[in-house]
Amino acid sequence: MALTIYQLTVPAFIQGFGVLGKLLDKAEAFASEKGIALDELVNARLAPDMLTLAGQVQRVSDTSKGAIGRLTSIEVPRFPDEEKTFADLRERIAKTVAFLETVQPTDLEDSGSREVTLNFPTLKVTFSGEEYLSKFVLPNFYFHLTTAYDILRHKGVPVGKADFLSLA
Amino acid sequence: MALTIYQLTVPAFIQGFGVLGKLLDKAEAFASEKGIALDELVNARLAPDMLTLAGQVQRVSDTSKGAIGRLTSIEVPRFPDEEKTFADLRERIAKTVAFLETVQPTDLEDSGSREVTLNFPTLKVTFSGEEYLSKFVLPNFYFHLTTAYDILRHKGVPVGKADFLSLA
């Protein structure tokens, strides 16, 4: 048995953005109940040199649309990282999901055998499309989604694993 | 193009345990350099009601071997959650990897169409093997791996994204 690259990307990413939206809902309700400024949550982070909540949402967005860009010939929209409010973060999520919804299974048909090269400041890595997906995209997507969750959890927002796994 | 369920589980999990081992190496070096008790890191958590570092390692282990158990007819080893030291955590990782290395691609051949039912205290969910993998196992595996990373990063351990993505 096998899963198509479409199955492993578009619907999984859209589920992830649904989770992220729900985390933001619970964060807003918590801030309102506790009299915490929403800015404090948007700018919260787990270490001084880690990305903030806003930064995690931006990277979830970029990881998902960047994966489609590298695995297909589709031109991917660019979204500047300018989000400063919960409304901005929701708009970033909505724009990313709107883009993902335009991607068709056929667009990803030949993606597993594509050569994908990532250029990092001190390193250049070449993967097959399949390896890029299983060893880079999926870990990275869930890394930023989980870290958004962990930031909110650390700030006291009552989110739980059922939210993260869309079981609630 | 498609990825087999074997490709998406065993090698990806083993890569994840390699990451976890490297995170523990850096945590030990950091603790030694800063004069921090290793216990403090083993028992560190991001919120009072979240799992500790030890708990995250135990759940990464269980998520990976539990997935193999639910997707095949293989009897999966049980490991009691008794780890209290870095040496114990390394042993838990080694035992889990040793089990995963016994799994063959053929063991997972029919796994995508299996029916997988998860029983939670207040909820029962049934997935196809494919959905269970893409919507539950992979998010959950990376959730616990990322949270282990986030705990150490929050405690000041100098781990980075290159470690998480096995690019270092």
Q: Span A34-50, mean pLDDT?
A: 97
List, for residues A49-94, the tens digit of each pLDDT value: 999 999 999 999 999 999 999 999 999 999 999 999 999 999 999 9
H or E, element range at A125? strand A123-128
Cβ separation A113–B15 shorter than 8 A: no
- Residues in chain B closer than 8 A to A45 (CB atoms): none
Q: What is the DSSP string of B69-134?
A: HHHSSPPPPP--S---SHHHHHHHHHHHHHHHTT--GGGGTTGGGSEEEEEETTEEEEEEHHHIII
Interface contact B51, partner A, CB < 8 A = no
Determine the distance in angstroms separating the CA of B91 from the nearest CA of chain A, rounded to an integer.
24
User: Does residue B1 have a pLDDT over 70?
Assistant: no
Neighbours of B36 (CB within 10 A): 16
Q: What is the pLDDT of residue A68?
A: 98
Could you give the count of Cα atoms lying within 13 Å of B8 in the half-sphere of its Cβ?
Answer: 33
Name the residue with higher pLDDT: A167 or A146: A146
Among A3, A15, A120, the residue to mutate for chain B (most B Cβ within 10 A): A3
Q: What was the pLDDT predicted at B121? A: 85
Tokens of B49: 């009601």
Distance CA B27, CA B33 (A): 10
Whether residue A40 lies within 8 A of chain B, CB to CB, comes out as: no
List for chain A the helix, strand, coil content (%; round to 5): 65, 10, 30
| Mean pLDDT value across residues A143-158 | 98
Yes or no, beta carbons of A150 and B46 under 8 Å apart: yes
Nearest CB neighbour to B2, from listed A2, A50, A143: A2
Provide the shortest C-alpha distance from residue B96 to chain A (in Å). 19
Between the two ends of chain B, the Cα-to-Cα distance in Å is 29
What pLDDT does residue A67 have?
A: 98
Tell me the average pLDDT of chain B.
96
ipTM for the complex shown: 0.97
Which chain A residues contact residue B3 at CB under 8 A? 2-3, 5, 8, 112, 130, 133-134
Chain B residues touching residue A16 (CB < 8 angstroms): 139
Those of residues 107-146 in B touching chain A at CB distance below 8 A are: 108-113, 120, 123, 125, 129-130, 133-136, 138-140, 142-143, 145-146
Chain A residue at shortest CA distance from B106: A1
Tell me what pLDDT residue A71 has: 97
Tokens for B156, please give them: 């000041």
Establish if B46 touches chain A: CB-CB under 8 angstroms. yes
Looking at beta carbons, which residues of chain B come within 8 Å of A120? 162, 167
Q: What is the CA radius of gyration of chain A?
A: 17
pLDDT score of B61 more than 70: yes
Q: Report which of B2, B19, B161 is spatially closest to residue A4, judged by C-alpha positions.
A: B2
Range A110-123 average pLDDT: 91
Backbone angles phi, psi at B42, to 5 degrees: -60, -35
Q: Locate B95 and state its tokens.
A: 């035992």
> What pTM value is reported for the model?
0.97
pLDDT above 90 coverage of chain B, percent: 93
The set of residues, in sequence order, having a beta carbon less than 8 Å from that of A146 and lying 6+ positions away, is A164, B142, B143, B146, B147, B150
Enter the DSSP assignment of A77: P
Q: What is the mean pLDDT of residues B103-117?
A: 94
Q: What is the Cα B81 distance to its own chain's centre?
A: 13
CA nearest B20: which of B100, B132, B125, B76? B100
Give A82 to chain B, closest Cα distance, Å: 22
Tokens describing residue A99? 């883009």
Report percent pLDDT > 70 for chain A.
Answer: 99
Kindly state the average pLDDT of the residues A123-135: 94
Euclidean distance between CA atoms A153 and A151, whole angstroms:
6
Segment A125-140 mean pLDDT: 95
pLDDT tens column, B145-165? 999 999 999 999 999 999 999
Find the range with the poorest average confidence among A29-43, A65-79, B118-132.
B118-132
Task: Say which amino acid occupies A133.
Answer: L
Residue A16, helix vs strand vs coil = helix
What is the predicted pLDDT for the residue at B168?
72
B70-95: average pLDDT: 97
Tell the burial category of B63 from Cβ atoms under 10 Å away from its Cβ (0-12, 13-18, 19+).
Answer: buried
Mean pLDDT confidence for A93-121? 95
